[in-house]
Structure 1
Amino acid sequence: MGNRATGLTEPAPGVHRLDVAHVNCYLVRTDDGLTLVDAGLPRSARLLDTLLKRLGARRGDIDAVVLTHGHFDHVGMVRALVGEGVPAVVHPADRRLVRHPYRYAHEAPIWSYPLRHPQILPTMAAMAWNGALTVRGADVAASLADGEMLDVPGHPRVIATPGHTDGHCALFFEHLGVMMCGDALVTLDPYTGHRGPQIVAGAATADSPQALASLEALRQAGERILLPGHGDPWTGGASAAIDAALRLGAH
């Protein structure tokens, strides 16, 4: 459901996907309130405001921002939202990264990817246009723990999935039928343009062997929808996605 052309879709009832320059964040709406998972790019704020208006809400009505990790393309709106009184949280191992979202570990030099994969240049340009080069860090709470059931609307369970970053976490909204994977598993790699289930390339992944090992934690999603940080939702079952990503391996 939704209008893909506008960047707004509803992959599951009450779960709204905001897609700006192939960077996803998700607004969950339940009877208890609103939870934003990840915070996209700075210009994702325009799309968020459009969605909130449709829902009869405003930014201050968001009960929590839960970050899967601290990379620049997932924290673009955090500083503004925190400034408006919205609480935000991340795993302790990524708290420093949220403060300094460009200071991240990666296995391969980023500059080599546009040379090897020139098809990604339009995506990179779109990300830059939407603020990818101007993200300001923020100080957020650090209290996510593996297995914890969060006291936020939707009540997701935290699934530790380190590798992409040290503190990367997925969020299992079991009763809503979705697993939000962040960048633990994506269906579009912005650094290669490759589509299908995979981990993110070494240009932005700290430890690919660990990232591949962490995929096993996502199997508990079963046949529920996987919602990645980049690319379209996956509806073909968690095991099929994980097996495909493992076959592809690091890249």
Structure 2
Amino acid sequence: MGEAGMVPSRDGVRLVTDDIAMITRANVNCYLVDAADGPVLVDAGLPGSWSLVRKALTRFGHRPGDLTAVLLTHAHFDHVGLCRTLQREHGVPVLVHDADAPLLRRPYRYAHESVRLKYPLRYPASLPGLARMVGAGALGVRGVDADGDLSGSSGALGRFASVFSPGHTFGHCALRYSSSQGGAPVDVLFAGDALVTYDPYTGKRGPRTVARAATADADLGFRSLDDLARTRAALLLPGHGAPDVRGAARAVSEARRVGVD
């Protein structure tokens, strides 16, 4: 077991509950949810994730055009990599909070508190991971227009509940979902990058917020952690790093303790 309750993430597809497949490429996670009202992709990874997403769809007996929506926790380039392919070639709608809609169109133009270029020098452990992201297409992501607003009042969310959690971006939303494992209900929180268990900018593992190099407002992000903890979700699925099976509240407590780089 890893520090977050599972072994650290490796490239590939694996089931984390009966109806959720975790898709990991270059330390970036997205999730295929085989929901009763149709499959949903939570975040869209990097362009190099395409073969893995197709593999996950096949595992559940689906094709790309069967997807009912892509729900984006936020619109940074490493979470929207497949949006253009899915939207334009397969007719899949892409939803994001309205505050991140401009970022979805230009996913490299994001607010951040610290200079990004200094992080690889300060944290050399991050270099292999960053190189893998580049190899998976991190420098070639193209933006799209949103098809809808990812907010708590959106009927397009279906069985998902939006948890507005700004800070990493100004429109960041975590997502709650009631899953099952062996027939037992499991309350899941897709935390996006509001709370991760691996920070690509420092190479550090364990529950934490992402470094200021990719965070619009770190103080706001820390305040948003309260809303994540209040979900009391039993399984936290982050945008980077291993799932945390100890629950959202404990993960938030640890993230507060380590602070932000």
Shorter-chain TM-score bucket reads over 0.9
Which residue number in structure 1 is paired with residue 237 of structure 2? Answer: 227
Deviation at 1:240, TM superposition (A): 1.3
TM-score (norm 1): 0.94
- 1:186·1:197 contact (CA, 8 Å) conserved in 2? yes
The answer to which of 4-13 and 76-85 deviates more is 4-13
Q: Does 1:131 align with 2:141?
A: no
For 1:100-249, list aligned pairs within 5 A.
100-145=106-151, 147-148=152-153, 150-152=155-157, 155-175=159-179, 176-249=186-259
Q: Does 1:94 align with 2:104?
A: no
- SS in structure 2 opposite 1:243? helix
One-letter code of the match for 2:226?
E
- 1:223·1:236 contact (CA, 8 Å) conserved in 2? no
- 1:183·1:200 contact (CA, 8 Å) conserved in 2? yes
CA-to-aligned-CA distance 1:79-105 (integer Å, 9 cap, x gap)? 110002001100000000000000000
Q: Does 1:41 align with 2:46?
A: yes
In structure 1, C-alpha distance between the alignment counterparts of 2:11 and 2:122, rounded to whole Å: 30
One-letter code of the match for 2:236?
L
Query: Larger RCO: Structure 1 or Structure 2 (Cα < 8 Å, ≥ 6 residues apart)?
Result: 2
In structure 2, C-alpha distance between the alignment counterparts of 1:177 and 1:76, rounded to whole Å: 27
In structure 2, C-alpha distance between the alignment counterparts of 1:54 and 1:75, rounded to whole Å: 22
CA-to-aligned-CA distance 1:145-204 (integer Å, 9 cap, x gap)? 2x3365445x11000000000000000003552100000000000000111111000010
CA-to-aligned-CA distance 1:100-134 (integer Å, 9 cap, x gap)? 00000000111001001111111011000000000
- 2:11·2:26 contact (CA, 8 Å) conserved in 1? no
Segments of structure 2 that go 5 or more residues without pairing to the other structure are 1-5, 180-185
Aligned residues: 247
One-letter code of the match for 1:166?
F
One-letter code of the match for 1:204?
A
Do the aligned partners of residues 192 and 150 (structure 1) sit closer, same or farther apart at CA in structure 2, a change above 3 Å counting?
A: farther
- SS in structure 1 opposite 2:121? helix
Segments of structure 1 that go 5 or more residues without pairing to the other structure are none
The answer to which of 168-177 and 190-199 deviates more is 168-177
In structure 1, C-alpha distance between the alignment counterparts of 2:206 and 2:141, rounded to whole Å: 28
In structure 1, C-alpha distance between the alignment counterparts of 2:234 and 2:194, rounded to whole Å: 16
In structure 2, C-alpha distance between the alignment counterparts of 1:94 and 1:185, rounded to whole Å: 18
- 2:100·2:169 contact (CA, 8 Å) conserved in 1? yes
Deviation at 1:135, TM superposition (A): 0.3
TM-score (norm 2): 0.90
One-letter code of the match for 1:48?
V
Q: Does 1:13 align with 2:18?
A: yes
Which residue number in structure 1 is paired with residue 69 of structure 2? Answer: 64
Which residue number in structure 2 is paired with residue 80 of structure 1? Answer: 85
Say what the alpha-carbon RMSD is for the aligned residues: 1.6
CA-to-aligned-CA distance 1:42-100 (integer Å, 9 cap, x gap)? 01111111222222211000010000000000000001100020011000000000000
Percentage of pairs with the same residue: 49
